Amino acid sequence: MTYPVSLRHEKNAYQYNKARLVRITPQTPDTNLYTFEYVDPGIQKQFTFTPGQFILLSIFGYGEAPFGICSSPNKTDSFDLCIRSVGKLTNVLQNLNPDSVVGFRGPFGHGWPMDEVKGKNIVIIGGGIGLVPLRPAILDVIENRDNYGKLQIMYGARCPEELLFKDELYLWGNRRDIEYVATVDRDDEHCWAGNIGVVTVLFDRINISPKDTYALVCGPPIMYKFVLRELEKIGLPDDRVFLSLERRMKCGVGHCSHCLVGSKFVCQDGPVFSYAEVKAQRGAV
């Protein structure tokens, strides 16, 4: 198989780029961080993405699925995916040995509006595995701190063990230039000193001013309803609230219709949409 120069093959959107699994770093009992590197250094060099974009991972024989890219957009020698094992492909993935070769298509889709939020305040709201596609945005803000205004992060997980990137959370919590708050739904082991309750309890812990502020939100479908209501209350206009939607995806390139939300393809027009766009589509959230 030969590799054309571009990562996205305009003529054949179904061509795969081979990548090697570099390492697996456990995050929670069912979620790991996977680091990959393209087999062809030329391709690795061309690899760029916008925070919030996703990539399609193939393990042939077991399937293909979309995953948000999770590393910093400024890191170019490899990239990370953070994946929860829930089924066919993801269960096989967790048992792969380093150096195994898998296939990738993409990155695809529209990510967070990083250009639009330059110089503006950012509120990041993540629920569970939803923190994954938000992480590159957070890392970019941290790595180019002067490019952005205030950064506030709200993160909720089901229980303390399920918090992702625990080392980083700690660092975020200790930085002066980030306001970070977290909560867990429940704490059966009594090992959590922080907030308890769903993500929305954090709205009492943090002061969000609507002026010049953008919200970037990702979490399970149920979370959106409540978070959006809170943001509306605060007075954040719909076109400054951005959501990353999840849908079943079978192609990633606008052919299979599985990901349709109203007339928009989550795979190409999204996965990140402004709340204003989402409102115009039926059955979106």
Among the listed residues 271, 218, 220, the one whose alpha carbon sits nearest the alpha carbon of residue 108? 271
**Count of chain residues binding other proteins (CB under 8 A):** 50
How many Cβ atoms from other residues are within 10 Å of residue 169's Cβ?
A: 17
By the rule CB under 8 A, 61 interacts with other proteins: yes
By the rule CB under 8 A, 2 interacts with other proteins: yes
Segment contacting ligand FAD (CB under 6 A): 41-49, 118-126, 176-184, 245-253? 245-253
Residue 27 has, within 13 A of its CA and on its CB side, a CA count of: 28
Q: Which structure tokens are listed for 247? A: 């849908």
Pick what 207 binds: other proteins, ligand FES, ligand FAD, none; C-beta below 5 to 8 Å, kind-dependent: none
Q: 229: which residues sit within 8 A by CB, 6+ positions away?
A: none
By the rule CB under 8 A, 233 interacts with other proteins: no
Window 124 to 183, contacts with ligand FAD (CB under 6 A): 129, 132
Pick what 4 binds: other proteins, ligand FES, ligand FAD, none; C-beta below 5 to 8 Å, kind-dependent: none
Q: Which is nearer to ligand FES, 33 or 261 (CB)?
A: 261
Window 79 to 108, contacts with ligand FAD (CB under 6 A): 82-84, 86-90
What whole-number distance in Å separates Cα of residue 83 and Cα of residue 65? Answer: 11
By the rule CB under 6 A, 34 interacts with ligand FAD: no
- The CB-of-2 to ligand FAD minimum distance in angstroms stands at 28
Window 240 to 269, contacts with ligand FES (CB under 6 A): 249-252, 254-259, 265, 267
Segment contacting other proteins (CB under 8 A): 56-64, 138-146, 206-214, 224-232? 56-64
What x-and-dash track marks residues 119-158 binding ligand FES by CB under 6 A? ----------------------------------------
Look up residue 240 and give its amino acid.
R
Q: Which structure tokens are listed for 173? A: 């919590």
What whole-number distance in Å separates Cα of residue 47 and Cα of residue 106? Answer: 10
53: helix, coil or strand?
Answer: coil
Residue 202 has, within 13 A of its CA and on its CB side, a CA count of: 26
Place of tokens 């569970």: 128
Place of tokens 């990140």: 272
Nearest residue to ligand FAD, by Cβ distance, number only? 87
Window 141 to 180, contacts with other proteins (CB under 8 A): none
Dihedral of alpha carbons 261, 31, 112, 18, sign: negative
- The CB-of-153 to ligand FAD minimum distance in angstroms stands at 17
174: left (phi over 0), alpha (psi -120 to 50) or beta: alpha
- Inter-residue contact 234 to 211 (CB < 8 Å): no
- Residues at the interface with ligand FES (CB under 6 A): 249-252, 254-259, 265, 267
- Residues at the interface with ligand FAD (CB under 6 A): 54, 63, 65-68, 82-84, 86-90, 129, 132, 246-247, 249, 271
